[in-house]
Homo-oligomer: A and B are copies of this chain.
Amino acid sequence: MSSSVLPAVLAANAGYKQSFGTKGTLALPPARQFAVLTCMDARIDPAKALGFAEGDAHVIRNAGGRASDDALRSLVISHKLLGTKEWFVIHHTNCGMELFTDEIIRGLLAQSLDTASIDATGWHDHGKGPGSHHGEFIDWLTIKEQAQSVKTDVERIRNHPLVPRSIPIYGYVYDVATGGLVEIPDAHQVGRATR
């Protein structure tokens, strides 16, 4: 690892610790009582894009920002034990999850575990094998169209037996070209609180 990020990350953390101020006294439950489910995408900084600070809000992130079983586990803990009362589901433009299918990633993993590359003709694997067929046991939760995936995910959360009807669930697509949130009215409608 000739170019490991580790020294730079540790140096940055030492600086953060130095200027931590009074943040060490923040309470465990989110002060602004909301939670955000969004994608792991490197271009999204939820705190900056939505204007919240340390102590304010729960942030749940995975590939796609999907309402997976694990995201639901986290959301239920967020409300039931830590008091959040509003939830955002935010997918985004130019998401990596739109660039492949279960079949494609399973095929690539079967060739090697190393990083593949994509060009106009599709994905190419240049890695050294062996690969693994274990990818067949994973639903990769790929996305065909963002407005639909946001609605699907808000709907899944809305209908989960452990999610109370009092929590509004807001559905947005984040535009990585502008930094702006675009409301998905269908998702908002499905996610509205009804008591």
Contacts and interface: CB of A to CB of B under 8 A. Distances in A.
Contacts of A5: 32-34, 86
A193 to B, nearest CB: 7
B115 A16 contact: no
A179 B20 contact: yes
Given A61-B59, A80-B108, A168 B4 contact: yes
A194 to B, nearest CB: 12
Given A81-B115, A176-B24, A42 B13 contact: no
Copies of the chain in the assembly: 2
Interface residues of A, number: 101
A164 B114 contact: yes
A178 B22 CA distance: 9
A65 B41 CA distance: 17
Interface of A: 1, 4-6, 8-17, 20, 23-24, 26, 28-35, 40-45, 47-63, 68-74, 76-83, 85-86, 88, 94, 96-97, 99-100, 105, 108-109, 113-116, 118, 123, 132, 134-135, 138, 140-141, 161-164, 166, 168, 170, 176-181, 193
